[in-house]
Amino acid sequence: MNIQNQLQATVEALVQQGKGILAMDESSPTIAKRFKPIGVESTEENRRSYRSMLLATPGLGEFVSGVILFEETLGQKADDGTPLPALAAQQGIVPGIKVDKGKLALANAPGDEITEGLDGLALRLESYKQQGARFAKWRDVYHISATTPSRLAIEANAEVLARYASICQTLGIVPIVEPEVLIDGDHSIDRCAEVTEAVLHEVFHALHCYHVILEHMLLKPNMVIPGKTHAQKASPEEVAEQTIRVLRRTVPAAVPSINFLSGGLTPEEATANLNAMNCLAPQPWDLSFSYGRALQQPALQAWKGNAGNAASTQAALYLRAKLNGAARHGSYSVTMEPAQE
């Protein structure tokens, strides 16, 4: 199969009605933060045990088409010796890999950051592909304040995302492009819309310059929402209206799917917002999810590091995936949420 056919096959496997992507690519420091509230030490064995348990969730492939793994996880095995990418593939879930190396301060742009990891990326991707990865993810972040993001940050991060996507496609790996305008701050929803529009406009300009094939990539953006300390909270309908307006101004129709990040939203908020978007008139792209915490948080609470809680942990993940699958069709309702104890 040639490169273009590989890319198309992976896109078709990822973009399916009623399905989205499970982000399970937390770095070691981040997964330690997730484990701490439930009293679990972040050892390699605990990480392997937890993630293999999630991937073995019965029926997960009904609502999840792809999973983003951390580099460590890509090389780990389930208790029976099955490599974790193969465990995902057994459920019809496409294995993917986070390939960026984290963010650092952007020189000459106070308060802004840029993501590193382009050096040696092609060699790493070849290795990841041999381990079963068929798509990749790279995240850049943008802080909103009175002075950020600067024009330098918007342009520099766009170029990095485009270079990454271009390298991926030359090797037959579908790139997920993730420009995240952060929820941190007290900015209004209008300010978030302004920044998100500027960011996405520059990202697609850079993708064009680097000859990235839009039909063979996915976009993973933030929703347009107020900062988490802003006095005015937005309804799902307002989030949907503002988000779709920005996307229609910036994202070409050739992009097959937009898989939103949850970015600090609660599981319920992330699902309700996605549902509201899919209740609007049909859009030129699929509107789906690529959630981490918004899918895993209930599962973590059920697990608590106890192997005896595997069934309830998997049930919690399955339910959250099912609810987001309903949101993909615009058929989610808060009455579908489990009763609060």
33 exposed, middle or buried (CB, 10 Å; 0-12, 13-18, 19+)? Answer: exposed
Place of tokens 């992507």: 21
Catalytic residue among 26, 113, 159, 178: 178
Q: How many Å apart are CA 58 and CA 315, to the nearest integer?
A: 8
What separation in angstroms does the CA of 339 have from each of 36, 125, 251, 335, 336? 25, 44, 38, 9, 9
71 catalytic residue (yes or no): no
CB 99 within 8 A of CB 126: no
Catalytic residue among 220, 241, 269, 322: 220
Count CA atoms closer than 13 A to 158's CA, side-chain side. 22
Strand, helix or coil for residue 176: strand
220 catalytic residue (yes or no): yes
* DSSP class of 16: -
Instruction: Give the residue numbers annotated as catalytic, written as ranges.
Output: 178, 220
